[in-house]
Chains A and B, each alone.
Chain A
């Protein structure tokens, strides 16, 4: 399907690449459909999660393993039901990034990652019950990174 985006112009995206977020993303609950842009699973640093419905709605997301070595969490059964799997191998975690000072300070939301079932292309934003994860962990500059312990 053709999708109009503010940043990337009109894109042709295969229907099966569209990820359904049945609960949306918090604050944007009316938007259920997104797709990953520039996502290379072997070499992913940052990529875009673009809304199908809203041309200028896009998040920069990242593979947390690239930045936070000990990002380990338990996922509640309710989220597994939404994601319709009980196999962690189907799931990929993305952290949403926020940028300050034109990208000279980048933070990651470790408290509420996006979790996607890559087999069924369904995703959800999970709120983790891990008190040491906050919505703003410094990701860049790396030397001052707050350890995600």
Chain B
């Protein structure tokens, strides 16, 4: 892993299209400004992990085996 020291207002450039700038530094908090192409998604790590976890949970519905099972569920949630 590369570790660099930067001061407030300084930047790091990654490849030719990503710039990460240290916007400001407080006691235990750093604000970071990121410029990157839209094709590169940027996430807060803990948010990314939470959503990946939820997606994996959602994708593992082994009890739903076919269309019939979903139709049954449709009735269940569709009827108020």
Contact with A along B52-76 (1 / 0, CB 8 A): 1111111101011111001001101
**A102–B67 CA distance with the chains assembled, in angstroms:** 15
How many chain B residues touch A (CB < 8 A): the figure is 29
Chain B interface helix/strand/loop/mixed: helix
Q: A46-B74, A125-B51 known; A7 and B58 CB under 8 Å?
A: no
Please state if A81 and B38 are interface contacts (CB–CB under 8 Å). Answer: yes
Which of B59, B65, B80 counts the most chain A CB atoms within 10 A?
B59
When distances are taken between beta carbons in the complex, the residues of chain A under 8 Å from B50 are: 111, 135
How many chain A residues touch B (CB < 8 A): the figure is 40
Please state if B38 and A111 are interface contacts (CB–CB under 8 Å). Answer: no
Q: Which single residue of chain A is at the shortest CB-CB distance from B52? A: A27
Beyond A26-B51, A47-B70, A142-B77, list 9 extra A-B contacts (CB 8 Å).
A26-B43, A38-B67, A58-B61, A60-B61, A60-B73, A81-B38, A99-B63, A109-B54, A140-B76
Q: Measuring CB to CB, which residues of chain A are less than 8 angstroms from any residue of chain B?
A: 7-8, 22-23, 25-28, 37-38, 45-48, 57-60, 66-67, 78, 81-82, 96-99, 102-103, 106, 109, 111-112, 125, 127, 135-136, 139-140, 142
